[in-house]
Structure 1
Amino acid sequence: MHLLTMTALLLSATLSLSSGGKVLVFPLDGSHWVNMKVIIEELRSRGHNITVVRPSDSWYIKEESPHYNCITIPSPGGFDEEFFVTLVNSLLKIRREGKFFLSHIMIHLELMEKILQLHQQVVEMMTIMFEDEALMKSLTDAKFDVVLTDPGIGGGVFLARRLNLPLVLNARWTVHGEAHCAIAPCPLSYVPYPGPELTDKMTFFQRVQNVLTYIFTLLQVTYIVAPHYTPFTKRYFGPDVEYFSLFQEADVWLMRNDFTFDFPRPTMPNVVYMSGFQCKPAKPLPVYLEEFVQSSGEHGVIIMSLGTLVGSLPSDISEEIAAAFAELPQKVIWRHQGPKPSTLGNNTLLVDWMPQNDLLGHPKTKVFVAHGGTNGVQEAIYHGVPIVGLPLVFDQPDNLFKMVARGTAKVVDIATMDRAVFVEALREVLHEPSYRENMQRLSRIHHDQPMKPLERAIFWIEFVMRNGGAPHLRTQSFRMSWIAYHSVDVILTLMMAFLLLLLILFLAIKKCLSVLLKKKVKSE
């Protein structure tokens, strides 16, 4: 018997004996998995049974775990560590050597090629699953209560539709871009679209830039996403089903941001904000780290990490960063996995891994040097630590720009900086009190809520499980045509009726005047 089929049948038998709720999870690899894993572990601690579907080449999603059962599909679709290191290096090279406009075009082409490949692999993986009758029967027989997925890829959304299960999205992005725009009004006059680094107060030319960015995103969707998902959707769900409507039909959207982090904008009743749900109070540091931190004295500590996808930088950049750190009186803890820089100072400790949340929560931590990933930015907000940003790819420049707009961060172009520029940025954030004051104000706002973000997220997942979905919270606007949604047909009809009324009045007045003139002529 096929190994995948045997695994699925065993899984079905195991789940049938369980008493808790049954959650089918279709995650996205990389840093997105770090988020999903937090929710999975919390659900498991509450007695729910979790099953995770993963491709065979997953980088972060492990096949064995005490927190979930696993179905591994013999198909590519995970993240490739080597690819991301190569990607970052090539993007830095493009930014260094190319002219401004050309470099941005090249960067987008590099990223689009990887995104296209990822969506292609997802479709291949889902085809393997849907064509495996024994696997699909075992998933049906398991009687899951809900599908939890990341809409950055389409697999979990398609699986929920095929199994006719309620759907909860762990979202910041969808296959079409920013998640809010999938279901909520997105007025481009004051809602900045990700990319051009704009606020909700835009000049005329910034609004033009915002609209052009939106149009460019639609073109990307048309030529990169739709060609993969549309044929798949037509094949398995019928010719009348539009693939993105399956995303918009989700019962609840768990949004990995909030209005401490983002700018105010329209939202919907089935959007649940859980920004910072992965953050926790700091735990004691390992002894060797605590001793190093305490040795900093009154100067305090700087920590640096570039997230889960990038462990090292090109050697010349690392040399400049190390030299800059060596000029400071602060102690530095730097997550760095490449060769040891020759300019490394005695005040800098290189580590392969760091307890980032615990270090950010330590009272001696003064500055966080970060790439601007959502998780790191939210942890900095949670603990009130200002940021020196070194954005690399994806949404990182946009995330850090939001922090700059709030006066909590200083951003440096990592591709062109030298030690003098980096030292200046570090000293500014270290010694200008407004950076820390503004970040601590954001931290107070973030903490001032009646329910912890993770508890709120779990409540709504369990709500969907208890009630078999949440259709009463779903808007039907996505089923409307663009003309109907914007009432263009109604406006045109009313305008035609008004013009017709004016025409009738004009003709009536003309007729009356004609009659009066005839009578006047006869009387004379």
Structure 2
Amino acid sequence: MASTRCVALTSFIFILLGCCSCTFGFNILMSSYYGMGSHFFAGSKVAESLLKKGHNVTFLISEAFSHRAEDPAYSNFSFQIFKHSVPKEEIVDVFSNLIGQHAFESSQVQLKTGLKIVEHNINDCLSILRDKAFMGNIEGIDGIVVDTAWNCGYFIRDFLEMKTNKSRKVPLVAMTPAANLIGSILEDISSTLNRAYQPEFGTGYTNRMTFLQRTMNVLEHWKWRFVSKTVSSWFCEIQKETGQNCHDFDVLEMYAKADIFLFNTHFAVDFPRALTPNVVLVGGLTCRPASPLTQELEDFVQSSGDHGVIIFTLGTYSTSITTIRPELVTMFAEVFRRLPQKVIWQLKKLPDWELPSNVKAMPWLPQNDLLGHPKTRMLMYQGGNNGFQEASYHGVPIVVIPLHSDQPDVAARIEVRGMGKRLDKMSLSADVIYETIEEVIGNPSYTKTAKEVSAIYRNEPMSGPDKAAFWIEHAIKFGGANMRPPVNELNFVQYNLLDVYTFLIGIVIAFVLVILYVLWFCLTICINLVIPGKSTKSKAD
């Protein structure tokens, strides 16, 4: 009887402790760039890992992407939906049409498009900070996770700390879904940057650059500094809202305020670089073992026989390519008609004419599940980082057509690693595309390398989302100051040791001068001793 009571009491205590542990979960605000596309998908995987650890996650999303809150897949998350100062259709147009339309334009045109998006970002952030109801709802949050593509989370943190006169610190973790970082951000978060072997964001250079590439790499770095200084003045109203001086503000230097920086890449596919402890690699945020396909899609894949299937997508915002660039649809269809493989093509709107019989067009692709299918032979896509990480995880070779942003950087990593080939978007032709596909599928070295990369990728004690969740938890508990070297406290002269080198060179010069003087003095004495009458004769004269 006593033992039964003891067991019951022990069970009750464990249940009670389990319930108590749930109450100690942190309340975390996640800002995954409006809730759009790949940014939200990566953030949601991290959020799922945080939920498994007993924490509460609230996503800050735009009304333009409010359908996320209605999706059963995200029913465990809370959502704070903000409204825009312009009709939400205009925001959808910015991302869907502008990015899609300019995908095949020059980098200068894309930069102008990016600056238009920044204007919307600033206005939306200002609206959020002035929304008393929203800011009141999040006053008690324990930490913020912010996507680097939209920095409003930094200002939310500043606003919350200002309300308590800086007596309460709100931990902030920055997370980038990109394959590469703007070099200035690496500098500002106190990590190392060597432009001789670390290519700048968007250049598409490898870590082995020619003299001309290194020159352009330095110029590209200063271009980003110039753009940062120019754009920083646009944030003046936000700075006033958070009680700060807008004249000293630099939008890139702001990233230094993050406790920890999570970088969605993996050493299996990235260029080796020296990183400080506050920069953590969490590659493969959207990677997971493949789930079964729908029966219809599985039947199509199986019908490919030994030839297998090719996955083709140009990303979420280029699925309307049928109306934007119809000549490209015709070109790709001509290529696919010549292939023995089946092709699964992400295409929102079908053309007026019939696609080849070996092509299946779909408005949305279960990309990770298709990449993990044993009959998948190759991925041809625009170079998004999530797709790169997923293809690396599943060991699938790639043909990449980089369109904008960090996609040229992804292409450089694919080629250097030997996982595939790059196509130039400005010089596409049916023959070039066909020959490249044939080479990547026909040459077993690409598949072999991809499988080797996959083996390295999977040889990890912790998945990307779980690792990210661990470090977010760490930042909330302990902060990140102890992991950040005091680089930003040093000026240019101190950081580059110019004062030390000047001092040491001065000592060497002084030492050499003393030696020369001593030698000259000794030489003079020796001359006087060897020619003793010289000085006497001189006096007599």
TM category, shorter: 0.7 to 0.9
Give, in whole Å, the separation in 2 of the partners of 1:205 and 1:147. Answer: 41
Report the alpha carbon displacement of residue 236 of structure 1 after superposing the two structures with TM.
Answer: 3.1
* Cα offset, 1:364, TM superposition: 0.6
The yes-or-no answer on 1:46 pairing with 2:35 is no
Cα drift, residue 248 of structure 1: 1.2
Matched residue, 1:228: 234
So what's the TM-score if we normalise by structure 1?
0.85
The CA distance in 1 between the partners of 2:77 and 2:437, in whole Å, is 42
Aligned counterpart, 1:72: 81
Q: Which runs of 5+ in 2 are unaligned?
A: 1-21, 161-168
Tell me the secondary structure at the aligned position of residue 364 of structure 2: coil
Q: Which amino acid aligns with 1:71?
A: Q
Deviations 1:133-171 (Å, cap 9, x if unpaired)?
55444432x2x2211111222211222233330111112
Aligned to 2:442: 431
2:350 equivalent to 1:339: yes
Greater displacement, 505-514 / 23-32? 505-514
Mapped partners of 1:243, 1:73: distance in 2: 23
Please state whether the residue corresponding to 1:309 is helix, strand or coil: helix
Measured at CA, do residues 59 and 438 of structure 1 come closer, stay the same or move farther in structure 2, by a change above 3 Å? farther
Aligned CA distance change for structure 1 residues 18 and 70 (closer, same or farther; 3 Å): farther
Aligned to 2:147: 150
- What is the aligned partner in structure 2 of residue 14 from structure 1? none
Distance 1:62 1:399, change over 3 A: same
Which residue identity lines up with residue 159 of structure 1 in the other structure? I
TM-score norm. by structure 2 comes to: 0.82
Which of 159, 165, 183 is the equivalent residue of 2:170?
165
Q: Which residue of 2 aligns with 1:109?
A: 108
2:387 to 373, 376, 379: 376
Aligned residues: 492
Structure 2 Cα separation of the partners of residues 428 and 178 of structure 1: 38
Structure 1: gaps spanning 5 or more residues:
1-16, 95-106
2:217 counterpart letter in structure 1: N
Amino acid at match of 1:67: N
Q: Is the 8 A contact 1:151 1:175 kept in 2?
A: no
Stretch of structure 1 that moved more, 504-513 or 375-384: 504-513
Q: Residues 271-301 of structure 1: CA distance to partner in whole angstroms, max 9, x if unpaired?
A: 2111112111011111111111111111111
Partner of 1:267: 275
Counterpart residue type for residue 361 of structure 1: G
User: 2:420 touches 2:440 (CA, 8 Å); kept in 1?
Assistant: yes
Q: For the residues of structure 2 that align with 1:288 and 1:109, how far apart are their CA atoms?
A: 43
8 A contact 1:230–1:243 mirrored in 2: no
Q: Helix, strand or coil for the counterpart of 2:93? A: helix
Question: In 1, distance between residues paired with 2:284 and 2:444?
Answer: 24
Aligned counterpart, 2:408: 397
Residue 483 (str. 1) matches residue 498 (str. 2): no
Structure 2 residue identity aligned to 1:492: T
* Alignment of 1:365 onto 2:376: yes
Quick one: which amino acid aligns to residue 36 of structure 1? G
3-state SS of paired residue (2:226): helix
**2:27 matched residue in structure 1:** 22
Tell me the residue number matched to 1:3: none
Contact 2:310 2:378 in 1 (8 A): yes
Q: Percent identity?
A: 30
Q: Judging changes above 3 Å, is the alpha-carbon distance between structure 1 residues 277 and 27 closer, same or farther for their aligned structure 2 residues?
A: closer
SS at match of 2:145: strand
The one-letter amino acid of 1:393's match is: H
Name the counterpart of 2:125: 126
| Cα drift, residue 114 of structure 1 | 2.7
2:104, 2:284 → 1: CA distance?
A: 33
Q: Deviations over 1:98-123 (max 9, x none)?
A: xxxxxxxxx23322223223333333
SS at the partner of 2:272?
Answer: coil
Query: Is the 1:332–1:347 contact (alpha carbons within 8 Å) kept by the matching residues of 2?
Result: yes
What does the per-residue CA deviation read over 1:346-388, in whole Å, with 9 as the maximum and x for residues that have no partner?
Answer: 1111112221111111101111111110011111111111112
Residues 319, 342 of structure 1: 8 Å contact kept: no
Bigger drift between 429-438 and 413-422 goes to 413-422
The structural deviation recorded for 1:478 is: 1.9
Does the CA contact (< 8 Å) of 2:423 and 2:433 recur in 1? Answer: yes
Q: Is the 8 A contact 2:203 2:408 kept in 1?
A: no
- SS of match in other structure, 1:435: helix
Q: Which residue number corresponds to residue 13 of structure 2? A: none
| CA–CA separation in structure 2 for the residues paired with 1:422 and 1:481 | 50
Alignment deviations for residues 286-340 of structure 1 (CA, whole Å, 9 cap, x no partner): 1111111111111111111222222132211111211211222211111111233
Aligned to 1:252: 260
1:230 CA displacement = 5.8
| Farther-moved stretch of structure 1 (148-157 vs 74-83) | 74-83
Rg (Cα) greater in structure: 2
Deviations 1:157-186 (A, max 9, x none): 222233330111112559956754443211
